[in-house]
Structure 1
Amino acid sequence: MSMNPPLRDWRNKRVWLIGASTGIGRALAEQLHAQGAQVIVSARNRDALEEFVRHHSDSLALQLDITDGEAIRSATDLATKDGAIDLVCYCAGHYKPMRADNIDLAELLKHHEINTIGALKVLDAVIPNMLTRKQGHISLISSVAGFRGLPQSLAYGPTKAALINLAETLYLDLHHQGLGVSLINPGFVRTPLTAQNDFHMPALISPEDAAKAILKGWSHGDFEIHFPKRFTRFMKLLRLLPYPIYFAAVRRITGL
């Protein structure tokens, strides 16, 4: 059953990808452009954005620090100058492994500022126009790390759990007003962020394969898009376990 209007024909659709200099965001930008979308890419890395625009005609680069609310509002004005945004996808993310016996408060706060608060600032900027039009789609990239607590995820996991709850609430509030909302929960994807991990990452996939899975989910009108299924289904099963069994299972699986 489709929970959103299916998005299959991207020709002349305007898509704003925030956090598109590398990883999943960059791969999405490339694949959406190949399918005819007018792609707007944002990130802090100006060189990466300009390189994308040079190789993808009719695209637009908007350098953006998503911790700056005024900059987000200015970028929104520029992004909508030549037409309304059909889909905005919040791909921006920050990750460093952290455990509670080695807390770095500045890093903790940086995770929340980029992963969660940045998303709220973007929503504040784009939702009013979408509500006026009764049209548009909001997509948030979270992670299976937000399902339940995990070792080394003290900084990252809570921010992704917040995005999951946020997307669910957005759907309840906005679906009946004609807006689409989707939640993207990847497993391990080969990106500069996961390159920091010093452990085996099961079912690791490429950003290109992640982008294909997202496009497939949008085309089906899915609310939650999770992949690769061979890993995310296992994580969903863990999510159902009572706490004593869950904690024991995680310690056994991770050795931590």
Structure 2
Amino acid sequence: MSTVLITGATSGIGEQLVKDYSAKGWQVIACGRNQEKLAQLESLDETVHALKFDVSDKEQTQQALTTLPALPDLWIFNAGNCEYIDDGVIDSDLMSRVMEINFHGVMRCIEVVQHQFAKGMRVALVGSIASEVALTRSEAYGASKAALSYFARSYRNDIAHKGVSVSLIFPGFVKTPLTDKNDFDMPMLISVEEASKRIIEGLNRGKDYIYFPRRFTWILRVIGTLPYQWQAKITAKLVGVKENGQ
């Protein structure tokens, strides 16, 4: 039986991944902060084992991940958060909160379990297409995912000799409790079921980079090749936000 560890398992994409991998017969180590939701996931099937901890807390992360019920073949670091900057007014506490979960939280997890990485394993990091194009109000979220993207590409090179693969996942807009809070247009929004399907398919195929939905992420990747001034004008219209707050 293959084993997968999934952080951010109590909501959104992570929760759906737990359900889908369990349905496929995998042993799933579901990691999250919500004890009630973790209990619900464990009740789905005996193949699901819950670990409660907060990736923003180093001590909790170390304690939870030091002894695992099984050694994962696949590690999916998915825990994430999003807060927006309004009117260009920078809030360093807000920036820190987002970075703590989206970037440093992943680093804390990897720091604890890296000695268990072995040939044939795959490490998957859930980033965002927002890391490839600057979007309005996304100074915190986009920067955290851009940091994760750079880390993944560099880390892949440094652990390749161990036979460990690294996949970077670039979702577009996915309907989750996190995006339900958005007050702007979300082009080509997809369900968590579709997102989970695309992730699982991509990982099964051994893809290093997984983009979805294909059309939307392709459009943003093309926009990312244009001069920065053009990018700003196009993306402001694309996500339904006017320039200069007007």
Residues 39 and 252 of structure 1, relative CA distance in 2, 3 Å threshold: closer
The worse-fitting range, judged by mean Cα deviation, of 121-130 and 233-242 is 121-130
Q: In 2, Cα distance between the equivalents of 1:104 and 1:17?
A: 30
| CA shift for structure 1 position 78 | 2.7
Q: Which of 30, 35, 41 does residue 24 from structure 2 map onto?
A: 35
| Residue-by-residue CA offset, 1:182-222 (whole Å, 9 max, x unaligned) | 00100000011111111111110011110000011011110
| CA shift for structure 1 position 249 | 2.4
Aligned to 2:91: 104
Q: In 1, Cα distance between the equivalents of 2:229 and 2:235?
A: 10
Indicate yes or no: 2:41 matched with 1:56. no
| Residue-by-residue CA offset, 1:28-50 (whole Å, 9 max, x unaligned) | 11110011110011111010001
TM-score scaled by structure 1?
0.90
Residues 15, 88 of structure 1: 8 Å contact kept? yes
Aligned to 1:83: 70
Q: Which has the higher contact order (CA 8 A, sep 6+)?
A: 1
| Residue-by-residue CA offset, 1:90-147 (whole Å, 9 max, x unaligned) | 11011122135333222111001010001011111111111xx334211100001111
Structure 2 letter corresponding to 1:39: V
Q: In 1, Cα distance between the equivalents of 2:236 and 2:166?
A: 35
| Residue-by-residue CA offset, 1:43-96 (whole Å, 9 max, x unaligned) | 1101000111012222111101111222222212232xx432211111101112
Residues 97, 197 of structure 1: 8 Å contact kept? no
Structure 2 letter corresponding to 1:16: L
Write out aligned runs for 1:1-256 (5 A): 12-79=1-68, 82-99=69-86, 101-130=88-117, 133-253=118-238, 254-256=241-243
| CA shift for structure 1 position 14 | 1.3
SS in 2 for 1:53: helix
Residues 58 and 244 of structure 1, relative CA distance in 2, 3 Å threshold: closer
Identity over aligned residues, as a percent?
A: 35
| CA shift for structure 1 position 252 | 4.2
Residues 96, 196 of structure 1: 8 Å contact kept? no
Aligned to 1:5: none
Residues 196 and 129 of structure 1, relative CA distance in 2, 3 Å threshold: same
Q: In 1, Cα distance between the equivalents of 2:66 and 2:139?
A: 36
| CA shift for structure 1 position 250 | 2.8
TM-score scaled by structure 2?
0.93
SS in 1 for 2:20: helix
**5+ residue gaps, structure 2:** none
Residues 94, 115 of structure 1: 8 Å contact kept? yes
